[in-house]
């Protein structure tokens, strides 16, 4: 029988093909009914970088369909990324075992729906068990609260960051949110790493990469690409 060099076989390239699952929130209102949605650059900058690298990307949400964008963050120069949010996949229809990375962008929405989504929690534990990348930025780390293994929070003992209590007060959101995400992560046992207001702060803890705010999205994206390039 002819020997096949599997390292060079083009038919086997699927082993090195990168695929990314981005999970966004469906929520469009804060507790005072003011408008919210995905903080657009936290989605668009990583998304465009993944496209440029040739990664396969799936965008999903708990309900699927059209995703609200925070009006304060909208940038029309990223039109293709905006169009993707017009019709995303329902999370229940995603075959999550086949992805190399899970990304959770911010905007305040994840504090309302991703934080207690049982399916997302199952997906996070699956990625962690497979040592696949989990990345979350700003309020995206609220989604990490959904993951518990035998009632032990996924974030317990993990070094991470998120949009801080101090930033909520600075941007006058403290009376529009259901809880302070920083406190919720700390109360779940996370080793919280805090930077200053609007300071670039990205924290790496093995397969978990988190970023504090939208100012950190560039470095956050670079570290994700570096992680995936090395695997």
Fill in the DSSP letter of residue 62.
S
Classify strands 56-61 and 89-90 as parallel, antiparallel or unpaired. Answer: parallel
**Hey, what domains does the chain have and what are their CATH numbers?**
17-229 (3.40.50.880)
Q: How confident is the model at residue 11 (pLDDT cuts 50, 70, 90)?
A: very low
Give the integer Cα–Cα distance in Å for 14 and 1: 24
- Mean pLDDT over 82-95 rounds to 97
Q: According to the model, what pLDDT value does residue 17 have? A: 80
Q: What kind and span of H or E run contains 220?
A: helix 217-229
Buried b / exposed e across 144-154, counting CB within 10 Å, b at 16+?
A: bbbbbeeeebb
Q: How confident is the model at residue 231 (pLDDT cuts 50, 70, 90)?
A: confident
- Mean pLDDT over 144-158 rounds to 97
Q: In the chain, helix, strand, coil percent, each to 5?
A: 40, 20, 40
Q: According to the model, what pLDDT value does residue 34 have? A: 97
Lowest mean pLDDT among 4-8, 88-92, 127-131: 4-8
Q: According to the model, what pLDDT value does residue 32 have? A: 97
Q: Do residues 39 and 138 make contact, with C-beta atoms less than 8 angstroms apart?
A: yes
Model confidence pLDDT, tens digit, residues 13-58? 344 589 999 999 999 999 999 999 999 999 999 999 999 999 999 9
- Mean pLDDT over 163-170 rounds to 98
Q: According to the model, what pLDDT value does residue 16 have? A: 52
């Amino acid at each position: 029988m002819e020997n096949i060099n599997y390292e060079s076989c083009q038919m086997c390239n699927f082993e090195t093909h990168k695929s990314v699952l981005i999970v966004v929130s469906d929520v469009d209102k804060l507790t005072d009914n003011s408008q919210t949605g995905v903080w657009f650059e936290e989605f668009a900058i990583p998304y465009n970088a993944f496209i440029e690298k040739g990664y396969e990307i799936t965008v999903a949400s708990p309900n699927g369909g059209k995703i609200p964008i925070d009006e304060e963050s909208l940038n029309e120069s990223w039109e293709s990324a905006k169009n993707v949010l017009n019709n995303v996949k329902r999370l229940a229809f995603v075959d999550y075992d086949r992805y190399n990375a899970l990304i959770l962008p911010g905007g305040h929405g994840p504090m309302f729906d991703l934080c207690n989504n049982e399916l997302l929690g199952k997906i996070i534990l699956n990625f962690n068990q497979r040592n696949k990348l989990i990345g979350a930025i700003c309020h995206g780390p609220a989604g990490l609260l959904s993951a518990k293994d035998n009632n032990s929070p996924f974030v317990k003992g993990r070094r991470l960051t998120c949009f801080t209590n101090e930033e909520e007060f600075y941007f006058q959101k403290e009376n529009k949110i259901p809880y302070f995400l920083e406190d919720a992560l700390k109360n779940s046992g996370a080793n919280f790493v805090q930077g200053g207001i609007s300071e670039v702060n990205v924290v790496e803890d093995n397969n978990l990469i988190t970023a504090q705010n939208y100012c950190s999205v560039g470095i956050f994206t670079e570290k994700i690409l570096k992680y995936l390039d090395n695997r």
